[in-house]
């Protein structure tokens, strides 16, 4: 029995001795693993921090300086453009940075071109002050600036319509017009001399700034006036052909004098009502240039005649005399309407195009288009009044494929926003 217990004790002792080496080995392995896990941290902590490259820092600093210089230069150029600077540095750098005087939609008006037109019109005003004052009024810089902006921006918008109507200026067409212009003044030298005196331009500059754009503008109008395009059939105006007999009244006339003239006119009107020939009466009693052609005023649309006369014409049926005399600032009129028609109206079309245009201006803080915008709105109101008084007799929707005298392109209705450049 005792021997059996001794054997069990011996086995336990042997087993314990076998376990201790294993535990020691595991403990040693754990220690090695911990040291290995800690080793990268210690090594990373021991590695020195790398400093940024001096070259890289220099490049970054240089770029920052350039950015600030460009921002400062841009602000300087904008202020110089606003002041109308004409120094060579400003002109060249505005071309380099693409800073324009103004723009209408996507059509820009380069600053150097603005200065060329501004200086040209100013020179014209100085050389012909009376003619300039009669057409434009004051010749101060603000007025000249607004005239140039209005004309050139509208012209650029018109020229953008060349793609709409598929027209362009050929070299043959341009050469024909150049030859005609030179023939009028006696050759290239005479042309250069005259243009230098008037605008400070050469003939080549005149061709680029006036002649070529003018030809393109005329072709656009002609394409519109054919009546074949959708625009020409949408934007039309009522026209009348009328005759009149004018009995002039002096603005300083007394009431007795006015009464005598009115009674004379009423007597002639009654004779026409009784069957006498209108043209013969116009030739005998008329007091303006139409008397020699029977009082014929040819075709005209809204906005051409003074309001009282226009109202009388557009409210009278075709083939009839207006009921009574028409009084205007010129005197008393006897009026007869001979015919009516509807025709393509380029100005009406252009007005609507410009109403939707975005205009950005750099050379002025003022809005040169506010007055023009009011003008177009007034013109549209007047058109509605005319349409309301038009009678139905003789009405026709046929469009005429006929070219009329070149319309007066009055810039109209555009919103002005500061230019962001």
SS (H, E, C) the chain: CHHHHHHHHHHHHHHHHHHHHHHHHHHHHHHHHHHHHHHHHHHHHHCCCCCCCHHHHHHHHHHHHHHHHHHHHHHHHHHHHHCCCCCHHHHHHHHHHCCEEEEECCEEEEHHHHHHHHHHHHHHHHHCHHHHHHHHCCCCHHHHHHHHHHHHHHHHHHHHCHHHHCCCCCHHHHHHHHHHHHHHHCCHHHHHHHHHHHCCCCHHHHHHHHHHHHHHHHHHHHHHHCCCCHHHHHCEEEEEEEEEEEEECCCCCCHHHHHHHHHHHHHHHHHHHCCCCHHHHHHHHCCCHHHHHCCEEEEECCCCCCHHHHHHHHCCCCCCECCCCEEECCEEEEEEEEEEEEEECHHHHHHHHHHCCEEEECCCCCCCCHHHHHHHHHHHHHHHHHHHHCCCCCCCCCCCCCCCCCCCCCCCCCEEEECCC
> Do 120 and 148 touch, CB atoms closer than 8 A?
no
11 domain residue, yes or no: no
- Single out the residue in 72, 98, 124 at which a domain terminates: 98
Tokens of 282: 């116009």
260-305 pLDDT tens trace = 999 999 999 999 999 999 999 999 999 999 999 999 999 998 888 9
> Are 368 and 414 contained in the same domain?
yes
* Whole-number Å distance between alpha carbons of 316 and 327: 15
Residue 37: inside a domain: no
Residue ending a domain, among 299, 319, 344, is 344
Looking at the structure of the chain, the number of domains it has is 3
168 assigned to some structural domain: yes
Q: Supply the pLDDT for residue 54.
A: 77
User: Distances in Å between the alpha carbon of 266 and those of 203, 245, 270, 271?
Assistant: 57, 11, 6, 9
Q: What is the pTM of this model?
A: 0.65
Q: Is residue 52 part of a domain?
A: no
Q: Are residues 193 and 278 in the same domain?
A: no
| End-to-end CA, the chain | 112
Q: Partners of 361 in the beta sheet?
A: 102, 418
Residue 8 in any domain: the answer is no
Are 191 and 325 in the same domain? no
223 & 371 share domain: yes
Could you tell me if 217 and 353 lie in one domain? yes
Give the pLDDT confidence score for residue 26 in this predicted structure. Answer: 47
If asked whether residues 106 and 92 sit together in one domain, one would say no
Q: Domain range spanning residue 84? A: 57-98
Residue 360 pairs in a beta bridge with 103, 417
Residue 73's pLDDT is what?
63
Kindly report the CA angle at 186 between 181 and 188, in degrees rounded to 5? 70
Tell which of 344, 362, 395 closes a domain. Answer: 344
Look up the CATH number of the domain holding residue 245: 3.10.50.40
In this prediction, the residues of the chain whose per-residue pLDDT falls under 70 are: 1-52, 69, 73-74, 77, 227, 367, 369-370, 386, 389-421
19 part of a folded domain: no
Verify that 117 and 227 share a domain, yes or no: yes
What pLDDT does 409 receive? 35
Q: Same domain, yes or no, for 220 and 353? A: yes
338 with 373, same domain: the answer is: no
User: What are the angstrom distances between the C-alpha of 100 and each of 12, 27, 29, 129, 368?
Assistant: 103, 83, 80, 29, 17
Residue 249, pLDDT score: 96
Q: What is the pLDDT of residues 321-339, one digit of tens each?
A: 999 999 999 999 999 999 9
**Cα dihedral angle (298, 303, 308, 309), rounded to 10 degrees?**
0
Q: What is the pLDDT of residue 412?
A: 34
pLDDT of residue 419: 39
286 and 361 share one domain: no
Residues 221 and 123 in one domain: yes
Does some domain include residue 113? yes
Q: Across the beta sheet with 100-104, what order do the strands follow?
A: 107-110, 100-104, 358-361, 415-418
Q: Are 411 and 354 in contact (CB under 8 A)?
A: yes
Spatial strand order in the sheet of 331-344: 296-300, 236-248, 331-344, 326-328
Do the domain assignments include residue 24? no
Looking at the structure, tell me whether residues 225 and 372 fall in a common domain.
yes
| pLDDT for the residue numbered 204 | 95
């Amino acid at each position: 029995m005792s021997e059996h217990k001794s054997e069990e004790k011996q086995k336990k002792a042997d087993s314990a001795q076998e376990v201790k080496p294993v535990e020691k080995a595991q403990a040693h392995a754990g220690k090695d693993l911990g040291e290995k896990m800690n080793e990268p941290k210690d090594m990373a902590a021991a590695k020195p921090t790398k400093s940024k490259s001096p070259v890289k820092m220099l490049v970054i600093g240089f770029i920052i300086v350039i950015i600030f210089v460009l921002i400062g230069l841009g602000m300087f150029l904008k202020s110089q453009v606003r002041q109308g600077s004409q120094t060579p540095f400003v002109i060249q750098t505005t071309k380099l940075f693409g800073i324009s005087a103004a723009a209408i939609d996507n059509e820009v008006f380069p600053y150097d071109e603005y200065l060329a037109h501004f200086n040209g019109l100013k020179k014209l005003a100085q050389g012909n002050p009376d003619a300039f004052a009669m057409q434009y009024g004051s010749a101060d810089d603000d007025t000249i600036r607004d005239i140039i902006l209005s004309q050139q921006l509208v012209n650029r918008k018109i020229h953008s319509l060349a793609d709409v109507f598929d027209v362009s200026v050929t070299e043959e067409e341009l050469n024909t017009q150049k030859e005609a212009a030179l023939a009028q003044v006696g050759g290239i030298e005479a042309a250069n001399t005259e243009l230098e005196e008037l605008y400070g331009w050469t003939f080549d500059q005149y061709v680029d700034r006036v002649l070529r754009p003018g030809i393109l503008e005329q072709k656009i109008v002609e394409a519109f006036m054919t009546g074949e395009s959708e625009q020409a059939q949408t934007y039309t105006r009522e026209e009348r052909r009328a005759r009149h007999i004018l009995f002039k009244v002096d603005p300083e006339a007394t009431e007795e004098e006015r009464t005598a003239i009115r009674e004379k006119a009423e007597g002639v009107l009654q004779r026409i009502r009784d069957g006498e020939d209108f043209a013969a009466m116009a030739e005998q009693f008329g007091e303006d240039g139409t008397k020699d052609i029977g009082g014929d005023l040819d075709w005209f649309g809204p906005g051409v005649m003074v309001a009282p006369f226009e109202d009388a014409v557009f409210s009278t049926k075709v083939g009839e005399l207006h009921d009574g005399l028409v009084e205007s600032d010129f005197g008393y009129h006897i009026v007869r309407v001979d015919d009516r028609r509807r025709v393509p109206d380029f100005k009406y079309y252009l007005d609507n195009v410009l109403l939707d245009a975005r205009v950005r201006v750099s050379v002025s803080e003022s809005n040169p288009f506010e007055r023009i915008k009011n003008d177009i709105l007034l013109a549209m109101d007047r058109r509605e009044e005319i349409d309301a008084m038009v009678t139905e007799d003789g009405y026709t929707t046929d469009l005429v494929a006929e070219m009329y005298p070149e319309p007066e392109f009055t810039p109209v209705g555009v919103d002005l926003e500061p230019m962001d450049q």
